[in-house]
Structure 1
Amino acid sequence: MTPRPGPIEPTRTKRAIGIDVARSIALIGMVSVHVWPTTNKNDDMSLVYAVFAGRAAGLFALLAGVSIAFVERRSRGKLFGRTLWADRGALVTRGLLIMLAGLLLGYLEADVVTILPYFGILFLLVIPLYGRSNRVLIIAGVLFAILGPLLLFLFGDSLPEQPDSGADYTLTTIFQYPVPFVSDMLLIGQYPTLLWMAYICVGIVIGRQVLTSKKVALVVAAWGAGLALGTWFLSQFLLGAAGGFQRLVEATPAMTSEDIIDVLAYGPEDPMLPHTTGWWMAAVAPYSHTSLNLIHDLGCAMAVTGVVLLLTRSGGRIFSPFAAIGAMTLTLYSAHVVILAIGVLDPARPRVSLWVQIISFMLFALVWRSVMGKGPLEQIISDCSDWVRTKIRTPRQQRRRPRESSAEADVQRPPPAAAAAAAPGAPVPATAEPDAAGPPSSAPDHQPVYKRTSLRIPSLRRPSRMN
């Protein structure tokens, strides 16, 4: 039997504002990493890359898990039977449509790795874990964070790759290279889902909490800060005082010390680190896909989420523009990829490009949300997933209930009270009154509901009192 999570609180506006604001920070961070140069004029790491590289995408994935927990709330704790399968069918639909959107964006050949196909796979991989207890999700998250990087380190070099490693997948290339597509999506791609499932598991657990609570926000922020700082200091110790850097230099003669320092700071140019020694697993650099890097980015995402939940507890119009962006990140991210692909903004002027996109996204989101509600792509995916959920949740007998003619209804209708009162003193039979909306769901055999009725017989004289 599938374990059931704890009681689910109803969705509240304040909570939604906090999560949407955090999601807008993730989107702005991803846009900044794509637009802003990695280094500044002094050939040092830029502040944008130092803050958002890897962490913005990790925050995006964590909040995807929180959104899945919101789907659970719609079922009000009844995550079993037909309701559970209906929600899982809706998640499959959502994942396939998100992946389709990413594959269609791949035809534009933008100079970024589109994250949407990976997100679609994440929604598919979470199906066996949907509705499981918090303990199961935490254990699964730990296993993904530890075993995923280990599998990548041990077997990453032996898995087939797409001939053009820098190109996005499309509907055409997934049929041309099905095996490389699966290996990229699961393990050796830019956002390997077997590792990133750790974000989804932790996000679901966070989303199940009462996010309007100050205590919950503080706990999430504190745990996140602890994980982020702990993994960073552990990496510095392993690569410094423990002698890890010298081991890297000795085991990787093809790279100079400066090259190794760059990899440890900026992350690998390819999706995978060198596999010359296990000391590479001590790296915490962006996109290095080690356990320390994964847990560090997860901690940063939790800390940001907790702080934003604290700041938005009182609501306020000041957060409305950011909440509007966070409510339609799929649409705006797709628009960002289109903008990069057609080159409408000068890449040599990153400051102008970044601010133009942020301001235009904010204005569009505010106007569209006030007039239409959900974003265009969000509305399409929501309608499709709701349709699938309704089809699975509704029993076939209710979907195909035959309509009775008036003559048949007269035959099946119980006799009127006047007919039963023809013989005074006769026993009154119980009349069957089937529910107008169909048989109740609690009756598996669809038996009609019987109600006992009383019949008042008029009398010509006052009855005598019984002593």
Structure 2
Amino acid sequence: MTERSTIASTRRLLGVDAARAVALVGMMATHLEPRIGPDGGTSTAHLLAAGRASALFALLAGVGIALASGGTTPPRGRSWLQAAAATAARAGVIFAVGLFLGAFESGLAIILCYYGVLFLVALPFLRLGAGWLIGLGVAAAVVTPVLSQALRQTVTTPLDSAVPNLVTVLLDPGGTVVNLLLTGYYPVLTWTAYLLVGLGVGRLPLARLGVAAALTVAGALVAVAAWVASSRWLAGGGLAELEAAGTGGHVATGAVDADLLHVSFFGTTPTTSWAWLGIASPHSGAPPDLLHTLGSALAVLGLMLLLEHAIGRAIWPVAAIGSMTFTLYSLHVVLISTLIPRTTDDALLVHVALAAVIAIPWRRYVGRGPLEAVAAAAARAARGSVAGGGPRS
């Protein structure tokens, strides 16, 4: 390996952090902007970000786990034990913060507890290479929605425990677990597709221009193909079938009509008909939705990596925001609940500006964000606790 390639493999990838910033701003937009615009149609913020921002957030979780556990070289032996311990420790910190944020009256579908469980799901897959991981992720995008639809025919839980907090965990632990894994806003069963593809992408040499270009093109093609396929199926009789089946009381943001692909389903499809698995609607968890949002996430990541190649460290201010999304997302939830609610004039602009004002100097003069530092310390402690045991890689 040359000196140049060694530097490229070990330095922090600003494009990945920039993609995290895009995911954060997208989630802020869906939280703060109205779904219906002044013209009576779906607002631009929701057209662009609904379903896609959180999917990008989840895919980048897999990328981050892969980069932290060896990058292009999957861990083996003692290295795997250390990587697994560190990942589990991060999962614990993320889950704990998610429980804390769940106690706030934010009205948001907070992702962090689901995110923490996804980190645990990653553990047995850390040893696999890019090809296996991406293949398993694509297979999961097709198979897990079918499993979910079958399981949810007989299992229902109230959405009261879909945003976990300490109270729901203590009073309804079973419902909380079922929501986290199957019926909640970001069900781990179907969202494993994002995790696995992200892990696989994180095993690729992301610093290479060709890899960035391939992610952009492949992601865009998959996203467009999934959306077009769902649209044509709906126009060819699928919509009429879904209108006849109805939602059965399933929570959705709009009616079953010609605008169905812009209606959010809060994590899962209705179980009134297997035909619901043909929609690409945001947060439906149907195969076209998972494939479309996987593609869009890959395209955004590829574009940000290409942008890093094009402008170099000029992308650093955006990457600084993305380097501390754990802290900034948590602060965003607290601010919506307290000082800067949705009713604030230009709330999105205020939240994004505040994120930049905090992140850029913090990253420049301090380093890791506060919650990122806590998670990193927990990971180091966990890694150190197993450093002396187990077979060497």
Per the alignment, in what secondary structure is the counterpart of residue 207 of structure 2? coil
Q: 1:63 aligns with which of 60, 63, 75?
A: 60
Amino acid at match of 1:130: L
Does 2:13 correspond to 1:16?
A: yes
Amino acid at match of 2:131: R
Q: 1:37 aligns with which of 14, 34, 38?
A: 34
CA distance in 2 between partners of 1:213 and 1:380 (Å): 31
| Residue 14 of structure 1, CA deviation | 6.9
Per the alignment, in what secondary structure is the counterpart of residue 198 of structure 1? helix
Of the two, which has the highest radius of gyration? 1
Counterparts of 1:130-149 in structure 2, within 5 Å, are: 130-149=126-145
Preserved contact between residue 104 and residue 334 of structure 2 (Cα < 8 Å):
yes
CA distance in 2 between partners of 1:386 and 1:10 (Å): 23
Structure 2 unaligned spans of 5+: none
CA distance in 2 between partners of 1:251 and 1:204 (Å): 37
Tell me whether 356-365 or 288-297 shows the greater mean CA deviation. 356-365
Q: Provide closer, same or farther for how the CA distance between residues 220 and 277 of structure 1 changes in structure 2, counting only shifts above 3 A.
A: same
| Residue 217 of structure 1, CA deviation | 0.9
CA distance in 2 between partners of 1:262 and 1:249 (Å): 10
Preserved contact between residue 185 and residue 193 of structure 1 (Cα < 8 Å):
yes
| Residue 249 of structure 1, CA deviation | 2.5
CA distance in 1 between partners of 2:178 and 2:75 (Å): 32
The total of aligned residue pairs comes to 384
Preserved contact between residue 134 and residue 196 of structure 2 (Cα < 8 Å):
yes
Any idea what the Cα deviations from partners look like across 1:148-186, whole Å, max 9, x if unmatched?
111222222422414625x62112311221111111111
Preserved contact between residue 221 and residue 295 of structure 2 (Cα < 8 Å):
yes
| Residue 379 of structure 1, CA deviation | 0.4
The aligned residue for residue 463 of structure 1 is: none
More helix by share: 2
Counterparts of 1:22-171 in structure 2, within 5 Å, are: 22-73=19-70, 77=73, 79-162=75-158, 164=160, 168-171=163-166
CA distance in 1 between partners of 2:374 and 2:12 (Å): 24
| Residue 198 of structure 1, CA deviation | 1.0
- RMSD (Å) for aligned C-alpha atoms: 2.4
Amino acid at match of 1:92: A
Any idea what the Cα deviations from partners look like across 1:418-445, whole Å, max 9, x if unmatched?
xxxxxxxxxxxxxxxxxxxxxxx98xxx
Counterparts of 1:28-427 in structure 2, within 5 Å, are: 28-73=25-70, 77=73, 79-162=75-158, 164=160, 168-241=163-236, 243-252=237-246, 259-261=255-257, 264-268=260-264, 270-342=266-338, 344-349=339-344, 352-395=346-389
Preserved contact between residue 130 and residue 204 of structure 2 (Cα < 8 Å):
no
In the superposition, the TM-score normalised over structure 1's length comes to 0.77
CA distance in 2 between partners of 1:163 and 1:245 (Å): 27
| Residue 227 of structure 1, CA deviation | 0.6
| Residue 276 of structure 1, CA deviation | 2.1
Q: Provide closer, same or farther for how the CA distance between residues 10 and 175 of structure 1 changes in structure 2, counting only shifts above 3 A.
A: farther
Per the alignment, in what secondary structure is the counterpart of residue 261 of structure 1? coil
Preserved contact between residue 324 and residue 369 of structure 1 (Cα < 8 Å):
yes
Preserved contact between residue 24 and residue 322 of structure 1 (Cα < 8 Å):
yes
Preserved contact between residue 149 and residue 291 of structure 1 (Cα < 8 Å):
yes
Preserved contact between residue 86 and residue 380 of structure 2 (Cα < 8 Å):
yes
CA distance in 2 between partners of 1:126 and 1:303 (Å): 23
Any idea what the Cα deviations from partners look like across 1:287-320, whole Å, max 9, x if unmatched?
1110110110000000111111111114545322
Preserved contact between residue 15 and residue 211 of structure 1 (Cα < 8 Å):
no
Runs of 4+ with >6 A deviation: none
Structure 1 unaligned spans of 5+: 1-7, 397-440, 443-467
Identity %: 34
CA distance in 1 between partners of 2:151 and 2:260 (Å): 21
Per the alignment, in what secondary structure is the counterpart of residue 23 of structure 1? helix
Any idea what the Cα deviations from partners look like across 1:29-62, whole Å, max 9, x if unmatched?
0001100000111211000000000100111111
| Residue 261 of structure 1, CA deviation | 1.5
Q: Which structure would you say has the larger RCO, counting Cα contacts within 8 Å and 6 or more residues apart?
A: 2
